């Protein structure tokens, strides 16, 4: 089958993209509004961009009524956010925070999650997540109806039990969740991780 995107609606293009760009890591972003309301929402158009400076990029869309989503608005106004890692035991709570709550609703309360103070930003961390990444806004690009948010990583908070002897996260000790197409997800766990070394340069 050959699919030409010029002949497809935006909705169909989106569905093909999320089912072919997979699996995708999930940036479970916590922010605080300028009025002090906590917000959490998951986004899977998310990637690392650079290690010097340490940058990540997250694509955030608008609401159905064309308003900017709370996460986008909060990052734009405060310049700060936290990315929290989603593990298998947190998927149900993560899914609750995907609902289109109004901006006066505290998603920590709705999902039964615990906010923790961050060290360098005002946005709270999610206590239940084993990895929290404090970030500050680097820049935001407006692309059609999306905001491409670039964040500079300031500080990591990592559960000590996940670290190996070299001080890195042992991926076999954590059940990462990946986003697929539709309502599908996948689990990255020890039994389906394999090692493949790169060939030497020739």
pLDDT in tens, 162-199: 999 998 999 999 999 999 999 999 999 899 999 999 88
Provide the mean pLDDT of the chain. Answer: 95
Q: How far is CA 164 from CA 62, 160, 181, in A?
A: 40, 9, 32
**pLDDT at 131 exceeding the cut of 70:** yes
Angstrom distance (rounded) from CA 74 to CA 32:
6
Residues 26-61: tens digit of each pLDDT: 999 999 999 999 999 999 999 999 999 999 999 999
Contact (Cβ atoms closer than 8 angstroms) between residue 170 and residue 177: no
pLDDT of residue 22: 93
Question: Which uninterrupted H or E stretch holds 74?
Answer: helix 70-78
Angstrom distance (rounded) from CA 126 to CA 84:
7
What pTM, to 2 d.p., does this model score? Answer: 0.94
Contact (Cβ atoms closer than 8 angstroms) between residue 43 and residue 27: yes
């Amino acid at each position: 089958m050959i699919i030409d995107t010029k002949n497809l609606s935006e909705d169909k293009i989106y569905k093909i993209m999320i089912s072919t760009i997979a699996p995708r890591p999930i940036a479970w972003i916590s922010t605080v509004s300028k009025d002090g309301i906590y917000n959490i929402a998951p986004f899977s158009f998310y990637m690392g961009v650079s290690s010097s400076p340490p940058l990540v990029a997250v694509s955030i869309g608008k609401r159905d009524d064309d308003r900017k989503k709370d996460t986008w608005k909060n990052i734009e106004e405060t310049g700060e956010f936290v990315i929290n890692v989603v593990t298998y035991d947190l998927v149900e709570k993560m899914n609750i925070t995907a609902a289109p709550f109004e901006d006066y609703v505290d998603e920590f309360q709705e999902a039964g999650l615990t906010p923790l103070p961050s060290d360098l930003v005002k946005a709270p961390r999610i206590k239940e997540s084993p990895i929290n990444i404090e970030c500050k806004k680097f820049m935001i690009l407006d692309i059609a109806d999306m905001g491409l948010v670039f964040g500079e990583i300031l500080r990591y908070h990592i559960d000590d039990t996940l670290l190996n002897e070299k001080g890195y996260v042992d991926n076999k000790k954590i059940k990462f969740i990946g986003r697929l197409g539709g309502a599908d997800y996948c689990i990255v766990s020890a039994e389906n991780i394999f090692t493949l070394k790169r060939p030497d340069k020739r």
